[in-house]
Amino acid sequence: MYIHLGGEKIIRAAELVAIFDISIEQSSKLSKQFVAGARKRKDVETIGEEEPKSIVVTKQKIYYSPISSSTLKKRAHYFAANG
């Protein structure tokens, strides 16, 4: 199964590790360090031109998605339940 993250980006549901609201980046020192490390490895991708609303962590990359974390979680839950 696949999950649409916004724009033209689709990932395999099996690759999904976590979905966070974008606000976690400001409130958590650990998340800032995690994203900074991924940036150094060039493993971060921003989807589309809109303001990011969520951070999607996969086994390979971190995506900044314009879709809210609650919507993405619903999509992921749907595929987990019906996959």
DSSP string across 6-54: ETTEEEEGGGEEEEEETTHHHH-HHHHHHHHHHHHTT-EEE-SSSPP-E
Return the pLDDT at 25.
87
Higher per-residue pLDDT: 55 or 76: 55
Per-residue model confidence as pLDDT tens digits over 16-75: 999 999 999 888 899 899 999 999 999 999 999 999 999 999 999 999 999 999 999 998
